[in-house]
Amino acid sequence: MPVEGAHVTLWKAGPRTGYSQYCPGCYRDCGRTVQTGPNGVFTFHDIEDGLLFSVMVSADGYVPMETKRFDPLEFAGQVKVTKRGLLPADPFVVLKGRVVDEAGRPVAGAEISPRMFFWKEPDGRTTGSSSSGGEDIAYTREDGTFLMVLGRRCKAASFIITAPTLAPLYVKNAAVGEIEDDYVLRMGVTIRGRVVDESGTPIPGVQLVLAQQSRMIDTFIGKFEYAADNRGRFEIPNIPAFPTDERNHVARRQTINTQGEVVPVIEKNPTSERYWLVAHTDSLDGRGYTPRFEVFLDNEDTDVELGDLVPTKGVSIEGRVVLSDGNPIPEGMTIFATRPDNWDSQIYQLPPDGTFRFDHLPPNEELHISPSVKGYRVSRSHPSVEQNGFAIKGKLESSMTGFVLLLEPGKPERLDYQALTQEQLAAFNTLRVFESYKP
């Protein structure tokens, strides 16, 4: 039986061929959502055809489900969802709430995306996880209400609420139980500007990305992406000046403290937010890169006019990925150059000899270069290895050639900080110029 009004979300992605260690939920199309029509049909337009996706489907009265290996080039089948049975009688296994706008009107179709769940262990300790073992997503009904069936008894949950034409909200440590709170989504701030070349000529169609400077797990709400129009103008709407503002929790009178105790909510003065704005380098068609533009939002009632963003020529790095066992690079492997503060990445397909080149990189800014070769990790003997073993971390003061990036067999492993000396720890936490591997 066709299900009308279901929400279908591109959840995660991976390369169609080859191998990649790039964050599965960080590809540009991830997070896009459409609703099914009267016949249950859904369509995504202009999807990256080099990727395979997992798709999350959620509908009122049905259990959310994730499908694997959704192929945008071939898929024309059916996604089957299962009707939800009776709700659990235990109120601590169901997260409930209602989403409204500033006028108190219910917001239908808002997405509830969990970030953390908290519970007490038998020994009294409060612990948590990004998953409860139950449902991973929910959407509000026409009356603005939502519910999410959890996989275990929880005391509290943190989640992000997003809805079209409204600013997202990060809800921290909302009490789970009998309470059914109202959460207010505001209009947010609109950020405007223009992308032009050095002569002042508008550059149409450039993709822009805005992201918070703080990446703390209890405040980060994700990235915002928009494209410039044919005059180079862009408007990025619904940006929250205060994404974790306690004033947005209208009915909530209880929360969970760090000891796992239910306590009254104490309203705090909202903390203003700082963002970085850049253009995706790949969308500038070889014109260079845009220096990161700091956007400081301290007033939710005033829009921001940034002026012109002008691409500039950057520096380059040219080198070779070398496997310590002497083998050639397998087919389909990749390497990424990423500006981690700005979600701006360039991707390069590695040939068998491992040679690569990245242009239009910003000088004196943190960069991560991440080789994705199945079965290998960045060698711990590489002087610029990043703490997780996925990448090398550093900066470029000028262009480099002849760079050697050594990989060794094994899976990336997080660095054991306790085993480091103070000198080694300081070196890992200092942004240094990239150093090539030298045998």
What residue spans define the domains of the chain?
A: 7-82, 86-312, 315-428
Fold identical between 86-312 and 315-428?
A: yes
pLDDT reported for residue 244: 72
pTM of the model: 0.78
pLDDT reported for residue 203: 96
**Closest by Cα among 185, 189, 186, 118 to 146:** 185
pLDDT reported for residue 253: 43
pLDDT reported for residue 330: 93
The residues near 116 (Cβ < 8 Å, ≥ 6 apart) are: 128, 129, 130, 157, 158, 217, 218
Measured between alpha carbons, how far is 251 from 380 in angstroms, rounded to an integer? 52
pLDDT tens, per residue, the chain with 439 residues: 788 888 888 878 888 877 666 667 777 788 888 889 888 888 888 888 888 888 888 888 888 877 877 887 776 567 788 888 888 889 899 999 999 999 999 998 888 999 999 998 888 888 989 989 998 888 888 899 999 999 999 999 999 998 888 899 999 888 898 777 889 999 889 999 999 999 999 999 999 999 998 888 778 888 888 889 999 999 998 898 877 755 555 444 444 454 555 444 444 445 578 899 999 999 999 999 999 988 988 777 778 999 999 999 999 999 999 999 999 999 989 999 999 888 899 999 999 999 999 999 999 999 999 999 999 999 988 888 887 778 899 999 999 999 999 999 998 877 666 776 777 667 667 788 999 988 7
Tokens linked to 362 = 């910003």
CATH code that applies to domain 86-312: 2.60.40.180
Measured between alpha carbons, how far is 423 from 425 in angstroms, rounded to an integer? 5
CATH 2.60.40.10 fits 315-428, yes or no: yes
How many C-beta atoms lie closer than 10 Å to residue 212's C-beta?
21
